[in-house]
Structure 1
Amino acid sequence: ITTFILFSLPEPALDLFDRMLELDPSRRISASDALLSNWLKDINDDTIRPLQLPIAQDCHEMWSKEHKRLTRRGWSENEIQAHFKEREVIEYQRYNQVTGFFFTILF
């Protein structure tokens, strides 16, 4: 069972989520119909800021490759750790500047 906790979502958004999460594929809303929903129909692409996705994810493989690359460039271990810490702070600040709605999925 999946429980959704939704904060500050208007009714049209909740309705769209319900229709998108329909278990029966034959009853689930299509992508084209979703774009025509009350929640999305008046969206103007020109007024939406581009989504800023994390550039430094918690991915061991990416971290390891970057660590090796910086080591080959002559960086000390302290410099490398400071570099990763700085990126972590930047990503945290960027993530927490995002406004709008969110939802949490509890399993």
Structure 2
Amino acid sequence: MAKTEPIVISPAVVDGLRMIFARLANDTSALSRPADVAEPVDRDAISPRLLTAVQAGEFLGVDQTTVRELWRDGKLKCVHVGRGRKVSTVELWRYINEHEQFDRDR
């Protein structure tokens, strides 16, 4: 089964789609309802941020050394910014999704 990257949709696009669907369904109450009134959303999942090795380690629950080893081994993509490296939250979620597995022994 192929893994796919998450789709990022901005709140403005969600509002536009909501208006289109409301017009199609003749539901005028949805026209005045902003997108952020719906369910709470994890903003890191929507708008990618660049994190340092320390921040990425906290995100993954590992030490920064592990993040640097993943970069070195090519298992985690990084962005070179100035003299340092950073990793996007989207890349961290990709890594998690690709390495997530069910542990039958527990």
Greater relative contact order (Cα < 8 A, sep 6+): 1
TM-score bracket, shorter-length normalisation: under 0.3
Give the TM-score normalised by structure 2: 0.25
Larger radius of gyration: 1
